[in-house]
Amino acid sequence: MQHIDNFVTYLLKEKGYSSFTINAYKNDLYQFQRFLPGLPIHALNTHHIRNFLDYLFQKKYSNTTLARKLSSLRSFFRYCLKCGIINTDPLVSITCPKRRRQLPGFLRKEPLTNKLVYEEGKTTATETSLKELRDTAIIQLLYATGIRLRELVQLNIRDVKFDSGIIRVTGKGGRERIVPTGKHCLICLDNYLNFRIIHYGAPVLDEPLFWGHIHRRINPRSVQRIVARKLNAIGEGMNVHPHMLRHSFATHLMDSGADLKAVQELLGHKNLSTTQIYTHVSTEKLCAEYNQAHPRAGRNQAETRKIKNLSNRKDLPM
């Protein structure tokens, strides 16, 4: 459908969307086109949209995926309406399926910190490899900065400012932001790049920060495998992925009293409401802070655990 191609060009040139976002739109729209082959766009109506959503529901797509696909269609038809391609929007009476708001999974601070210290210590060993140094630098950087997987993959060497301890990141919509990083992460990056210089020559600043196969830019799937291999052991049954390190970064900052607006800036969130999901705090931490701060709390840790256990009992009246 020519209109889809024109819409994709609009997203790229006018909206400045990333290739990842544009590919998601294309996949959703072409799936809709395959569902209704040969039907001209001006003949589409609400009935066709509902049939498509019912088809997706039968395929057992989650409400989150259904909402995303519906959002893609909504944006496309609004574009067509604006351009005069259609006279009415077939989605005007379609409501979005409710999405259950889930708290993001994150790693506990102590085991994660211990693991990162262990991995950093391995980089100083005499017998190491570029791959080992790279993998350690990747997990250190993901947790130290909270950047997204695709932001990490797109980093070039010139984006790391060792003298000022910051990294220049290009996020969603092509928006740039400056993210500080800690000394331990910088040490791991320095070890990795020094090894690369010694064995493969001085790099060009516009080269990818992280090499993958045959010294080309690493791909997202490789990073996912690295994170899983390094951190699944401390995941407490969870499959650890790069975005979980982003969740851990934000959660640990909030637990330590960081300002919500500052965390929003670090994460590159456009809306503060997106960051507010990280304001969750564990019951144990909440009780500990209460017991420490309130003059009439008067409970020790054992009593706090006893009260917490009582609150979890199912046989007590609510």
pLDDT digits (tens, 9 = 90+) for 105-114: 899 999 999 9
Mean of the per-residue pLDDT values of the chain? 86
Query: Model confidence over 141-185: pLDDT tens digits?
Result: 999 999 999 999 999 999 999 999 999 999 887 889 999 999 999
Question: Would you call 246 a catalytic residue per the annotation?
Answer: yes
Taking 50 as the threshold, does the pLDDT of residue 283 lie above it? no
Q: How many CA atoms lie within 13 Å of 63's alpha carbon, on the beta-carbon side?
A: 8
Q: Which of 69, 134, 246, 252 is catalytic?
A: 246
Identified catalytic residue from 26, 168, 184, 243: 243
Provide the pLDDT confidence category of residue 310 given band limits of 50, 70 and 90: very low
pLDDT band at 276 (very low <50, low <70, confident <90, very high): confident
Which residue type is seen at 143? Y
Whether the model clears a pTM of 0.85, i.e. scores above it, the answer is no
Residue 79 Cα to chain centre, angstroms: 28
What's residue 34's pLDDT?
94
| Res. 256: pLDDT tops 60 | yes
Higher local confidence (pLDDT), 261 or 302: 261
42, 86 contact by CB (below 8 A): yes
Q: Pick the catalytic residue: 134, 241, 252, 269?
A: 269
- What pLDDT is recorded for position 100? 63
> For 30-44, 112-126, 168-182, 192-206, which range has the lowest pLDDT when averaged over its residues?
112-126
State residue 307's pLDDT score: 44
What is the mean pLDDT of the segment spanning 234-258?
Answer: 92
Q: How confident is the model at residue 286 (pLDDT cuts 50, 70, 90)?
A: low
Out of 60-69, 124-133, 151-160, 247-256, the most confident range is: 151-160
Q: Is 148 a catalytic residue?
A: yes
Q: Which of 172, 184, 217, 299 is catalytic?
A: 172
Q: Where are the beta strands (DSSP E) in the chain?
A: 160-161, 166-170, 176-180
pLDDT at 1: 66
**What are the structural domains, with CATH classification, of the chain?**
2-82 (1.10.150.130), 109-279 (1.10.443.10), 282-318 (no CATH)
Mean pLDDT score, 217-240 = 95
**Dist CA 125 CA 120 (whole Å):** 10
> Would you place residue 315 in the very low, low, confident or very high pLDDT band (cuts 50, 70, 90)?
very low
Q: What is the pLDDT of residue 280?
A: 60
* CB < 8 Å & 24+ apart, contacts of 231-238: 231/107, 231/112, 231/115, 231/139, 233/115, 234/107, 234/108, 234/111, 234/112, 234/115, 235/107, 236/108, 238/105
Identity (one letter) of the amino acid at 181? T
* Digit-coded pLDDT (tens) for 291-302: 777 777 665 555
Q: Is the pLDDT of residue 317 over 50?
A: no
pLDDT for the residue 282: 45
